[in-house]
């Protein structure tokens, strides 16, 4: 079972920041927080990941609380092409294959509206 909890759906106005929350209260010390998204009929797309520090790349920012029990993915200027299902996943470092299996929950369906 997924070890994260996300809202089922969210709306965001085009051009505004989209803030997607995720709860992972049982996260272990060696588990990273990963974010992926899936646009309809395409494969999941990696967005960003982090351990405990905030991270930023060309797609998004990841804010992780100090106790690491929750995080927020921020898309700074959402566009219509950001409409997708966003998955928050925790994954242990140093493991691949089955041990490092990405357990995708139901995710958050983000709808960006004009």
Partner 1 sequence: DAGITQSPRHKVTETGTPVTLRCHQTENHRYMYWYRQDPGHGLRLIHYSYGVKDTDKGEVSDGYSVSRSKTEDFLLTLESATSSQTSVYFCAISTRLNSPLHFGNGTRLTVT
Cα–Cα nearest to 5, from 107, 85, 111: 107
Nearer to partner 1, 39 or 80 (CB): 39
Rule CB under 8 A: is residue 3 a binding residue for partner 1? no
As measured in angstroms, the least distance from the Cβ of 16 to partner 1 is: 27
Count of all residues that appear for the chain in the document: 114
As measured in angstroms, the least distance from the Cβ of 18 to partner 1 is: 21
Rule CB under 8 A: is residue 98 a binding residue for partner 1? yes
Provide CB contacts within 8 A for 105, sequence distance 6+: 1, 2, 4, 5, 6, 87, 88, 89
* Number of residues in contact with partner 1 under rule CB under 8 A: 23
């Amino acid at each position: 079972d997924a070890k994260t909890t996300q809202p089922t759906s969210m709306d965001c106005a085009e051009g505004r920041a989209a803030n997607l929350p995720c709860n992972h209260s049982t996260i272990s010390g060696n588990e990273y927080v990963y974010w992926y998204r899936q646009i309809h009929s395409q494969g999941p797309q990696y967005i960003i990941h982090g351990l405990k520090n905030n991270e930023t790349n060309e797609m998004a920012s990841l804010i992780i609380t100090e106790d690491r029990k929750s995080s927020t993915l921020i898309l700074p200027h959402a566009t219509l092409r950001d409409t997708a299902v966003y998955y928050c996943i925790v994954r242990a470092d140093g493991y691949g294959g089955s041990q490092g299996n990405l357990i995708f929950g139901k995710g958050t369906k983000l709808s960006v509206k004009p």
